[in-house]
Structure 1
Amino acid sequence: MKQVFLLALLLGLFSNASVAQGEAANFNAGDVFTIAKVENNRYHHINFPKNNFIRVKGGLINYNSIIGEQVVIHSLKEKKNGKVVACIKLSSGNKFFMSHRYVTVDISEAISTNELLQN
């Protein structure tokens, strides 16, 4: 009886692991996206730094400079809740707001709300 229970538990764990890996496989490092314009510069799923951090690092707060810019996925991580978080950088090699090289983004939510556009 213990062996049957243990076998069922292991099958359940492995099936969850394969589903989680399949969701992250939709995006790969090196995929290119474009930053879209949103209303009032309120990006909910792209985690741009707060304005005071941009100023402290000597950057300029100008959201018009990033609209239409192409970004590349640098790395992907999957959180415990199943969301895929990507670290993105500008494909031109410049910094976001002239202060931050990398920004994190909830990739699937940003695409569904049209904050990021697939190329």
Structure 2
Amino acid sequence: MKKIFFTLLFFGCCFLISAQTEPKVGDELIIEAQDGPTYHHIKFPKLNILVKRGKVANYKSVHGNVVIIDDVITDKDNNTYVVLKKKDGSKFFGYLTKVKANYEKSIASGEMVVKS
């Protein structure tokens, strides 16, 4: 009887954890500072493109930004991509209104965190 109880409890906990990791339109995320020079799972423009547009060649302007999920896309390989826009309505680097990110990988690597 104890084994059945603990098995059901385990599956219930797994179900709750997996239900919380699915992104929904309107969820808020925070872009965190990256250790390396680039973001690997958020599709920001390369630094040389920013220089050509007259911006400073770093990603410090996006650190700590609160973003909202505008669209959720799942491809045939079950990768979940989200389209992000800033909560305050301004543009990324002065010219991008939306950026795309791999949801699971960016959360796992610490590039984004879910705002609580």
TM-score (norm 2): 0.73
Residues 33, 111 of structure 2: 8 Å contact kept: yes
Q: How many Å apart are 1:65 and its aligned residue?
A: 1.3
Matched, 1:114 2:110: yes
Give 2:59's match in structure 1, choosing from 49, 59, 63: 63
Q: How many Å apart are 1:57 and its aligned residue?
A: 5.0
d(CA) in 2 for partners of 1:68, 1:108? 19
Give 2:76's match in structure 1, choosing from 80, 83, 95: 80
User: What's the Cα RMSD here?
Assistant: 2.1
Q: Runs ≥4 in structure 1, deviation > 6 angstroms?
A: none
Counterpart of 2:62 in structure 1: which amino acid?
I
Counterpart of 1:63 in structure 2: which amino acid?
Y
Q: How many Å apart are 1:50 and its aligned residue?
A: 1.9
* Residues 46-57 of structure 1: pairs in structure 2 closer than 5 A: 46-57=42-53
What stretches of structure 2 of length at least 5 have no aligned partner?
1-17
What stretches of structure 1 of length at least 5 have no aligned partner?
1-21
Q: How many Å apart are 1:38 and its aligned residue?
A: 1.0
Matched, 1:92 2:106: no
Matched, 1:41 2:37: yes
Larger radius of gyration: 1
Percent of matched pairs sharing the same residue: 28
Residues 58, 98 of structure 1: 8 Å contact kept: no
Point out the structure with the larger helix share. 1
